[in-house]
Structures are given as C-alpha cells and as structure tokens.
Amino acid sequence: MLHLLTQHDESRIASPQGQTKNLPMSGAPMAGKGDVSHNVPVCLDASKPIATQKARRSNIWTRHLLMFAVCTLATLSNNTVSRAEPSQTPDEWTSPVDQFLPTPTSLFDSPISTISHSDASVELHPSIPADDTGTTAVSTKATTPLSSTPLAMPAMPQSLSTDLRSDRFWLVNTRHLTCNTCRMNLNQPNFHIYRLDRCGRRLPSGLDDYLGSMDTTRPRIIYIHGNRRDAPTAIKQGLFVYRQLVRHRSSDQPIDWVIWSWPSEADSLFLSDVREKAQRTNAQGLYLAWLLREHVVRSQPSGLIGFSFGGRVVSGGLHALAGGTLGRRTIGEPPITGANIDVGLLAPAVDSTWLSSNGYHRFATQNMNRMVMLYNHRDIALKYFKFVAGNSKAKALGHVGPRYLAPRYDGTPLPVRARDCAQTVGNHHSEKRYYERTCYAGREMASLIDSVMRVD
C-alpha cells in the first residue's frame, strides 16, 4: 500500500505576493474552491497561468485517489482470502447422481413397497359421478405389485362408536301452558317440541314429528327435572343425566332422550315457591299422561326418570293415565293400565303414602313395570317436607324410602330396587351428587334402558 508522507511545514506555501498561506490538512476542502487535499505538498508557480496550474493540480489529486482506492481494495481482498475456511460440504452431496436417493427405512416402516412416479398410471372411472366441485373421482393403479401382507384395521375410536349409536334428543316445553287444571286444553295440548343436538341447541320440530318418529325397536326415555330450574338449565341438566346413563349402559341400543321442561324457575321465597311448584305438578302430570297415552297407542317402549318434584310429575302422570284425577281433573280419555313403563326416581318429593292402595297416586303402579329408587334419609330439604304438604305427619318418599306400594295391574308386587345414598350424598338435596358420588345413580338408571325393552 502506498503511504504518503507529509510534513507540517510543507503545508505552508507562498502566495504570489510573497505571503504564506495555510492549506487544509487531512483531506479538508479548501474554502470556496471545492478542492480536496491529502496532505501532499503543492507549490504554485507564479510564472505560469493560474488555470494551467489548477488543471495540473487536479490531475495529481485524481491519480492519487485512484491509487488509494486500488490499494485499499487489494488489502481487503487479501484479508478475506486469508480468513476463508475450507468447505465442509461432503463430496457425495455435490457429486452428480444418476438415480433417486433411497428413502430412509427408519422413517417409514409400512410394508407397502415404494412406487416411483414412472411406475404408476391413472385410471379414470366413468361410472363414478363427479363430486360437488366438478372433479371426477380417479384412482391410481400401480404396475409394481404391492405387498401381499394385509394391513390390520385400526380400532374404532370410542367417541365415534358412541356417535354411531344414533341417539336422538327431544325437548318438550310446557312452560308457556297454563297450570290451572280447570282451564287446561287436554284435547290437543300446544306443546312446544324441538329436536336437540348433543350440545343442547334447539332445532325446529313439532308434535307430528315427535309422534311420527316413534320406533318400537328403540326405547324413549323421558327425563323430568326438579324445582328451581329455568329453561336453559333444564336442558343442561337433562344432557348431564343422559351422559351419566350412556357411560354405564351395557349395550349400544340406540335411544330417544326426551327432556321435559316445565315451569319451575324460582319465582319467590323458598317456602312459598316450593308450595306453588307442588301445585303445578298436578297440571304437569296431566300433560304427561296425555303424551304417554300417545306412546302406548303407538306401542312405543317408554321409561320415566324424575328428580324431586320431577318424580311427583312421573307418579302423577302414570296415575292419570290409568284414569286417576289430579286437581279434580282427568285427561278425559279411557283409562290405560298395564303400560309396563319402567320408572327411575331420585329423591322424589312425593308423600310416602301416595303410591299406596289408598294414596293420592294409587293408580300409578298399575302402569309400572319396575322401579329404581334412590333416596336419602339425611336430605335437609326433604326433612321439612311436612311444611310443603301442610301435614305435620307427612314424610317424603325420597326421605324415608319405599314403604307402601300398591300392586301392579295384574296384582303382582311391583319390583323395586331401592338404595339409601345418605352416606355418599350427605344432607344435600343435589341431583348431581347422586351421579357423581358412589351412589351409582348412572348405573342404576342406565339399567332402565335395557329393561324397557322387556316386561318383568
């Protein structure tokens, strides 16, 4: 690299008048001239024209700048070459190949032979119609034979197996109907009926669809919730109970799951609210009896599950179906007995004497096939049932368990499976605790699905 030596005293040059003049150092431009100095001494000759001297000086600066740039680039190039490392790329990566690289066998263990693109042909099937996108179905036929080892069929996921059971969900809503038994329309009740998906979303339907879809090969289970449940909560609770049952059912028998939604939302203080709902169960029992009659006429296998006041609606509906009165009203149709309906009751808020031969719901057992009852002698709500009944001696069936039961329509005793769940449920009046604890409510109620299809 060229190195220019500069002396400080050489930066002072004489002017034509014999005066000295300081030139800029370190490449600073001269004022007003636009010239660049690289500390090279330049003397002005007064005997030559100024223009000639300026041209000569400009050529000198240009040559020096070019030499400086060339030397700088050469130095940088040498440094780069000296730091370069040898290539680490394997020779086989850069060497030309005449064939495809083999597929690593550790990545794919399928017994099917690998087929190159040149060995496969595409065969169109004119008999297969085009799909919705206008694309014709095609298949690839390999000329290279595949492995003759059959592939094992993977196991069906449990979730898919559950979906293939094709259970159907219904909602029967009576919240808009009157609960005054004297003003009820029992000729053609205006039920609001919907289909439900598994998430509880309602789909339009009606009574004709409900009745027309009945199937003698699949049971239809009606679930009736308890008190202080609004419409969304009733659907949510009904689907919760359904999921508990299907976990324990012994077969893939498809069912129709019906949620009976009645006006039980909280309206007032607890005691007055409970008494009001107790009165509403009479009207709900009559509505249920009307619908059960349609079940029996169409030979629809049916089951009933009720919690708390829902159990009261269940027993009242079966009683009215057999010709009994509720709130001084009947359904106005010929009595039906021997319907052989399986019943499941959880903590029923029913007087313990009502299902006896002289009880208020005495005809209910004439339409029962069997009964499963889960009760709790520590239930704090049912403990004070006497205040709801207005009788100091009244006791709830869900508090003391079955004691007095009338016979079935043929005079035989009603088969009953009862269990006191006080040890696991405690003093709570909670439906979920019966299913989530070791009372095995899901297993007991799931037994109704199979027994509905047979008569004991």
pLDDT at res. 78? 52
How far CA 242 is from CA of 12, 197, 239, 286, in Å, comes to: 107, 13, 5, 25
Place of tokens 């007064």: 46
pLDDT at res. 289? 99
The rounded average pLDDT for each run of 10 residues, N- to C-terminus, in the chain (456 residues) is 41 42 42 43 51 63 71 57 44 44 40 37 38 39 41 47 71 98 95 97 96 96 97 98 93 94 90 94 99 98 98 99 98 97 98 97 98 98 94 96 96 97 96 92 93 82
How far CA 180 is from CA of 231, 284, 328, in Å, comes to: 20, 10, 11
pLDDT at res. 200? 96
**Domains of the chain, start order:** 1-64 (no CATH), 168-451 (3.40.50)
pLDDT at res. 158? 53
pLDDT at res. 47? 52
pLDDT at res. 72? 65
pLDDT at res. 269? 82
Stated pTM of the model: 0.66
